[in-house]
Homo-oligomer: A and B are copies of this chain.
Amino acid sequence: MPKPARILPMPDPSSRFEKVNKESTRDKVYRSLRNAILSGQLHCGERVKEIPLAQELGVSRAILREAMQQLIHDGLLESNSYRGARVIELRPEQIDEIIEARILLEGRAVRLATERIQNSQREELQAFERLLNKEKDPLKAGQLDLLLHQRIWRISGQAMIEKLLLQLTSPLFAMSLLMRSAETRGHEQMPALPRGTHKRLVDAICFGTPAKAAQELEAHLTENWTAIRRRVAEFVAREEAGKL
Protein backbone atom coordinates (compact mmCIF):
# COMPACT_ATOMS: atom_id res chain seq x y z
CA MET A 1 0.00 0.00 0.00
CA PRO A 2 1.29 3.48 -0.79
CA LYS A 3 0.84 4.68 2.74
CA PRO A 4 -2.79 4.71 3.86
CA ALA A 5 -2.10 8.21 4.95
CA ARG A 6 -4.60 10.63 6.33
CA ILE A 7 -7.02 7.75 6.62
CA LEU A 8 -8.18 7.50 10.18
CA PRO A 9 -5.66 5.73 12.39
CA MET A 10 -7.17 2.37 13.17
CA PRO A 11 -5.28 -0.43 14.92
CA ASP A 12 -3.18 -2.51 12.53
CA PRO A 13 -3.09 -6.11 13.73
CA SER A 14 -0.25 -7.01 11.39
CA SER A 15 2.32 -5.27 13.61
CA ARG A 16 2.86 -5.57 17.33
CA PHE A 17 3.56 -1.85 17.62
CA GLU A 18 1.54 1.16 16.83
CA LYS A 19 3.01 3.54 14.35
CA VAL A 20 4.93 6.43 15.77
CA ASN A 21 4.12 9.06 13.21
CA LYS A 22 4.57 12.45 14.70
CA GLU A 23 1.86 14.64 13.29
CA SER A 24 3.20 17.66 11.45
CA THR A 25 1.82 21.11 12.07
CA ARG A 26 0.38 21.07 8.60
CA ASP A 27 -1.62 17.93 9.35
CA LYS A 28 -2.88 19.37 12.61
CA VAL A 29 -4.03 22.48 10.80
CA TYR A 30 -5.61 20.32 8.10
CA ARG A 31 -7.59 18.30 10.63
CA SER A 32 -8.57 21.37 12.57
CA LEU A 33 -9.93 23.13 9.50
CA ARG A 34 -11.62 19.99 8.26
CA ASN A 35 -13.40 19.60 11.58
CA ALA A 36 -14.36 23.25 11.57
CA ILE A 37 -16.00 22.86 8.19
CA LEU A 38 -17.58 19.50 8.96
CA SER A 39 -19.03 20.79 12.22
CA GLY A 40 -20.40 23.92 10.64
CA GLN A 41 -18.17 26.40 12.43
CA LEU A 42 -16.91 27.58 9.09
CA HIS A 43 -20.14 27.79 7.23
CA CYS A 44 -21.20 27.28 3.69
CA GLY A 45 -19.81 29.87 1.26
CA GLU A 46 -17.81 31.65 3.93
CA ARG A 47 -14.68 33.40 2.79
CA VAL A 48 -11.47 32.05 4.29
CA LYS A 49 -8.84 34.77 4.77
CA GLU A 50 -5.32 33.59 5.27
CA ILE A 51 -3.81 36.15 7.63
CA PRO A 52 -6.53 36.26 10.28
CA LEU A 53 -6.95 32.49 10.15
CA ALA A 54 -3.22 31.86 10.43
CA GLN A 55 -3.06 34.13 13.46
CA GLU A 56 -6.05 32.47 15.05
CA LEU A 57 -4.45 29.06 14.53
CA GLY A 58 -1.06 30.32 15.67
CA VAL A 59 0.84 29.21 12.57
CA SER A 60 2.43 30.90 9.61
CA ARG A 61 0.63 31.48 6.35
CA ALA A 62 2.86 28.99 4.51
CA ILE A 63 1.65 26.13 6.68
CA LEU A 64 -1.94 27.24 6.47
CA ARG A 65 -1.70 27.43 2.70
CA GLU A 66 -0.39 23.88 2.46
CA ALA A 67 -3.28 22.64 4.59
CA MET A 68 -5.75 24.64 2.54
CA GLN A 69 -4.30 23.05 -0.57
CA GLN A 70 -5.39 19.66 0.72
CA LEU A 71 -8.85 20.91 1.57
CA ILE A 72 -9.19 22.33 -1.91
CA HIS A 73 -8.28 18.94 -3.25
CA ASP A 74 -10.85 17.32 -0.93
CA GLY A 75 -13.42 19.58 -2.48
CA LEU A 76 -14.22 21.33 0.79
CA LEU A 77 -12.69 24.64 -0.25
CA GLU A 78 -12.54 26.35 -3.62
CA SER A 79 -10.18 29.13 -4.55
CA ASN A 80 -9.45 31.58 -7.35
CA SER A 81 -6.09 33.21 -7.78
CA TYR A 82 -5.73 36.46 -5.86
CA ARG A 83 -9.37 36.18 -4.98
CA GLY A 84 -9.25 34.02 -1.92
CA ALA A 85 -10.80 30.72 -0.86
CA ARG A 86 -14.32 29.90 0.22
CA VAL A 87 -16.04 26.97 1.81
CA ILE A 88 -17.92 25.13 -0.92
CA GLU A 89 -21.60 25.45 -1.53
CA LEU A 90 -23.17 22.23 -2.68
CA ARG A 91 -26.13 22.19 -5.01
CA PRO A 92 -28.81 19.54 -4.71
CA GLU A 93 -27.84 17.87 -7.99
CA GLN A 94 -24.35 17.40 -6.65
CA ILE A 95 -25.68 15.51 -3.69
CA ASP A 96 -27.32 13.13 -6.12
CA GLU A 97 -24.07 12.71 -7.98
CA ILE A 98 -22.15 12.01 -4.82
CA ILE A 99 -24.70 9.58 -3.46
CA GLU A 100 -24.76 7.74 -6.74
CA ALA A 101 -20.99 7.32 -6.78
CA ARG A 102 -21.05 6.38 -3.13
CA ILE A 103 -23.61 3.65 -3.67
CA LEU A 104 -21.43 2.21 -6.45
CA LEU A 105 -18.24 2.16 -4.40
CA GLU A 106 -19.65 1.40 -1.00
CA GLY A 107 -21.85 -1.30 -2.48
CA ARG A 108 -18.73 -3.11 -3.59
CA ALA A 109 -17.13 -2.46 -0.21
CA VAL A 110 -19.94 -4.00 1.82
CA ARG A 111 -20.04 -7.06 -0.44
CA LEU A 112 -16.37 -7.62 0.21
CA ALA A 113 -16.75 -6.83 3.90
CA THR A 114 -19.50 -9.41 4.23
CA GLU A 115 -17.21 -12.04 2.74
CA ARG A 116 -14.11 -11.14 4.71
CA ILE A 117 -15.37 -10.08 8.13
CA GLN A 118 -13.82 -11.76 11.19
CA ASN A 119 -15.57 -12.51 14.46
CA SER A 120 -13.83 -9.76 16.39
CA GLN A 121 -14.91 -7.29 13.74
CA ARG A 122 -18.49 -8.54 13.95
CA GLU A 123 -18.55 -7.69 17.63
CA GLU A 124 -16.95 -4.32 17.03
CA LEU A 125 -19.49 -3.35 14.38
CA GLN A 126 -22.42 -4.37 16.54
CA ALA A 127 -21.09 -2.50 19.55
CA PHE A 128 -20.70 0.54 17.33
CA GLU A 129 -24.24 0.23 16.10
CA ARG A 130 -25.60 0.03 19.65
CA LEU A 131 -23.64 3.11 20.61
CA LEU A 132 -24.96 4.99 17.60
CA ASN A 133 -28.50 3.94 18.37
CA LYS A 134 -28.32 5.34 21.89
CA GLU A 135 -26.86 8.70 20.85
CA LYS A 136 -29.44 11.46 21.10
CA ASP A 137 -27.40 14.43 19.91
CA PRO A 138 -27.83 14.50 16.11
CA LEU A 139 -24.41 16.10 15.63
CA LYS A 140 -22.59 13.35 17.48
CA ALA A 141 -24.80 10.75 15.83
CA GLY A 142 -23.69 12.06 12.46
CA GLN A 143 -20.04 11.68 13.40
CA LEU A 144 -20.60 8.17 14.76
CA ASP A 145 -22.39 7.26 11.56
CA LEU A 146 -19.38 8.32 9.53
CA LEU A 147 -17.03 6.36 11.78
CA LEU A 148 -19.18 3.24 11.51
CA HIS A 149 -19.10 3.42 7.75
CA GLN A 150 -15.35 3.89 7.79
CA ARG A 151 -14.95 0.71 9.81
CA ILE A 152 -16.92 -1.15 7.21
CA TRP A 153 -14.75 0.23 4.41
CA ARG A 154 -11.66 -0.83 6.26
CA ILE A 155 -13.01 -4.36 6.73
CA SER A 156 -13.50 -4.64 2.97
CA GLY A 157 -9.72 -4.59 2.62
CA GLN A 158 -9.87 -2.43 -0.51
CA ALA A 159 -7.57 0.48 0.27
CA MET A 160 -8.33 2.30 -2.95
CA ILE A 161 -12.08 2.16 -2.54
CA GLU A 162 -11.65 3.26 1.06
CA LYS A 163 -9.64 6.26 -0.06
CA LEU A 164 -12.19 7.28 -2.67
CA LEU A 165 -15.09 6.91 -0.26
CA LEU A 166 -13.33 8.97 2.34
CA GLN A 167 -12.94 11.73 -0.17
CA LEU A 168 -16.46 11.41 -1.43
CA THR A 169 -18.04 11.74 1.98
CA SER A 170 -16.24 14.91 3.04
CA PRO A 171 -18.53 17.31 1.18
CA LEU A 172 -21.58 15.19 1.90
CA PHE A 173 -20.94 15.17 5.59
CA ALA A 174 -20.29 18.87 5.54
CA MET A 175 -23.58 19.41 3.79
CA SER A 176 -25.57 17.37 6.27
CA LEU A 177 -24.05 19.21 9.19
CA LEU A 178 -24.50 22.58 7.56
CA MET A 179 -28.15 21.81 7.18
CA ARG A 180 -28.37 20.96 10.85
CA SER A 181 -26.61 24.13 11.89
CA ALA A 182 -28.78 26.19 9.56
CA GLU A 183 -31.76 24.72 11.33
CA THR A 184 -30.52 25.85 14.72
CA ARG A 185 -30.07 29.33 13.33
CA GLY A 186 -33.79 29.88 13.17
CA HIS A 187 -35.31 27.58 10.58
CA GLU A 188 -37.83 24.92 11.36
CA GLN A 189 -36.82 21.61 12.88
CA MET A 190 -34.69 19.20 10.95
CA PRO A 191 -36.32 15.79 10.67
CA ALA A 192 -34.32 13.32 12.72
CA LEU A 193 -32.16 10.89 10.82
CA PRO A 194 -33.85 7.54 10.42
CA ARG A 195 -31.92 5.11 12.59
CA GLY A 196 -33.39 1.69 12.00
CA THR A 197 -31.52 1.05 8.76
CA HIS A 198 -28.19 1.00 10.57
CA LYS A 199 -28.99 -2.15 12.45
CA ARG A 200 -30.26 -3.91 9.38
CA LEU A 201 -27.11 -2.96 7.46
CA VAL A 202 -24.78 -4.15 10.22
CA ASP A 203 -26.70 -7.38 10.66
CA ALA A 204 -26.56 -8.06 6.94
CA ILE A 205 -22.81 -7.54 6.87
CA CYS A 206 -22.24 -9.70 9.93
CA PHE A 207 -24.61 -12.55 9.20
CA GLY A 208 -26.14 -12.10 5.75
CA THR A 209 -25.06 -12.55 2.16
CA PRO A 210 -23.12 -9.99 0.10
CA ALA A 211 -26.14 -9.30 -2.08
CA LYS A 212 -28.36 -8.72 0.96
CA ALA A 213 -25.79 -6.39 2.48
CA ALA A 214 -25.48 -4.34 -0.71
CA GLN A 215 -29.25 -4.06 -0.86
CA GLU A 216 -29.43 -2.87 2.74
CA LEU A 217 -26.70 -0.34 2.07
CA GLU A 218 -28.54 1.18 -0.84
CA ALA A 219 -31.72 1.40 1.21
CA HIS A 220 -29.81 2.93 4.08
CA LEU A 221 -28.10 5.58 1.99
CA THR A 222 -31.17 6.45 -0.01
CA GLU A 223 -33.35 6.78 3.07
CA ASN A 224 -30.81 8.83 4.97
CA TRP A 225 -30.08 11.24 2.18
CA THR A 226 -33.45 11.80 0.62
CA ALA A 227 -34.47 13.93 3.56
CA ILE A 228 -31.27 15.92 3.55
CA ARG A 229 -31.39 16.42 -0.18
CA ARG A 230 -34.89 17.83 -0.02
CA ARG A 231 -33.84 20.07 2.83
CA VAL A 232 -30.90 21.38 0.85
CA ALA A 233 -33.15 22.10 -2.11
CA GLU A 234 -35.53 24.09 0.09
CA PHE A 235 -32.65 25.89 1.69
CA VAL A 236 -31.17 26.89 -1.65
CA ALA A 237 -34.54 28.00 -2.94
CA ARG A 238 -35.02 30.21 0.10
CA GLU A 239 -31.57 31.73 -0.34
CA GLU A 240 -32.28 32.47 -3.99
CA ALA A 241 -35.60 34.05 -3.10
CA GLY A 242 -33.91 36.17 -0.46
CA LYS A 243 -31.47 37.57 -2.94
CA LEU A 244 -34.05 38.56 -5.52
Contact = CB atoms under 8 A, between A and B. Distances in A.
A146 interface: no
B158 A78 contact: no
Contact of A2 (B3, B69, B90): B90
A97 B66 contact: no
Interface string A103-128: 01100100000000000000000000
Interface string A53-74: 0000000001001100110110
A15 interface: no
Contacts of A105: 101, 104-105
B160 A2 contact: no
A190 interface: no
A108 B97 CA distance: 11
Interface residues of A, number: 39
Nearest to A99: B160
A189 interface: no
A66 B22 CA distance: 20
Interface in A66-90: 66, 69-70, 72-73, 75, 78, 80-81, 88-90
Interface in A1-46: 1-3, 5, 21-22, 24
A205 to B, nearest CB: 19
A226 interface: no
7 contacts: A2-B88, A66-B69, A69-B69, A69-B70, A70-B73, A98-B160, A104-B108
